[in-house]
Amino acid sequence: MIIRNVFVAALVVCAAPRLVAAQQQQSASVLRSTVFPADSARSRRTRPPTQRSLVDTATAILSKLEMHETTLAPGESPHAPHRHAHEELMIVRSGTVQVYQNGVTKTAGPGAVILMASNELHGLRNVSAQPVTYLVIRYDPHDTPADQPMSDADKASKAWTDSAQTITKRRP
């Protein structure tokens, strides 16, 4: 028993400096207060839908803060409806989108703020004749739950995305 206690004490003494150094390094690498100029984004995807990345890093209270701007052409969707554990805020800058949330479709125009909650089925599509641009703010707290798997009903919602192209083709 004494040998075990001595071993544990030695382990703590040896590991403590490394833990302190790791915590200091982590606190130095988190995002601090800043301003992101409108022209500071870099293109991360140049084929449709286009995306410009603003930031992708940790903060003092988030394991991940990721922001990007997406532009959808008429009839375009960034992907089929899906779910994930992290949450997202989307701010429509220009144009109008249809938003799919748990089987309900809503419309969002310039200035609208969209919340995609954790593990809820959601999607987005442009059914207008004009391009749509929106800002995505993804935030993952340190205790983000696991992603829930897609059910067969969730997978069937891909038809919602596919129908956007049919709707825009019918418009004059």
What confidence tier does 71 reach under pLDDT thresholds 50, 70, 90?
Answer: very high
> Residue 52 and residue 19: Cα distance in Å, rounded?
36
What are 68's two structure tokens? Answer: 């990007």
For residue 54, pLDDT over 70 is answered with: yes
More confident residue, 122 or 38: 122
Q: Which pLDDT score, from 0 to 100, does residue 116 have?
A: 97
Q: Give the residue, 19 or 119, on which the prediction is more confident.
A: 119
Q: How far apart are CA 169 and CA 15, in angstroms?
A: 64
Q: Does position 22 have pLDDT exceeding 90, yes or no?
A: no
Q: Which are the contacts of 84, defined by CB distance < 8 A and separation ≥ 6?
A: 118, 119, 147
Of residues 22 and 51, more confidently modeled: 51
Are 93 and 133 in contact by the 8 Å Cβ rule? The answer is yes
Token pair belonging to 27? 């606190």
46 conformational bin, left if phi > 0, alpha if psi -120 to 50, beta if neither: alpha
**CA gap 103, 107 in Å, rounded:** 13
Give the predicted TM-score (pTM) of the model.
0.73
Q: In the chain, what are the domains?
A: 41-170 (2.60.120.10)
